[in-house]
Amino acid sequence: QVPNEIHRSGFSWAWPLTEPMCSVYSAVSGQALAVVDDYEGKTAKEVKRSLAAQVGVSRFRQRLWSEDWSHEIQDDEVFTSDLVKVQLVVLDFLQPDAEEDRRMITASR
């Protein structure tokens, strides 16, 4: 274990202990978007709710991916690691199209 404080010839310096955090990066730009501090034991759905307030995007338009892109993090997955980095993909929001809706309804009859 590494101490978090150094004492040397009357000088004392301490660095903060690392707290578990989840860093969220844009899947497009790689830019850091948010940090979720209290994520351990929470589902991805709960983390998305927290992110919605921070990044201004509804959880329904958010997709979280592992840092190495090996898998999409599903809403029911529980975050357990001490330090997590995830990629955020924001889905486009499409306005309703009445004409397309009418064609779909007609085609389904």
Digit-coded pLDDT (tens) for 14-33: 555 555 678 999 999 999 99
pLDDT at 16: 54
The arithmetic mean of pLDDT across residues 93-100, rounded, is: 84
For residue 51, what is the DSSP state? Answer: H
Report which of 69, 80, 71 is spatially closest to residue 25, judged by C-alpha positions. 69
pLDDT at 1 over 60: no
CA angle 4, 38, 52 (to 5 degrees): 135
**What pTM, to 2 d.p., does this model score?**
0.69
Sign of CA dihedral 86, 87, 89, 90: positive
Q: How far apart are CA 20 and CA 9, in angstroms?
A: 33
The arithmetic mean of pLDDT across residues 65-81, rounded, is: 91
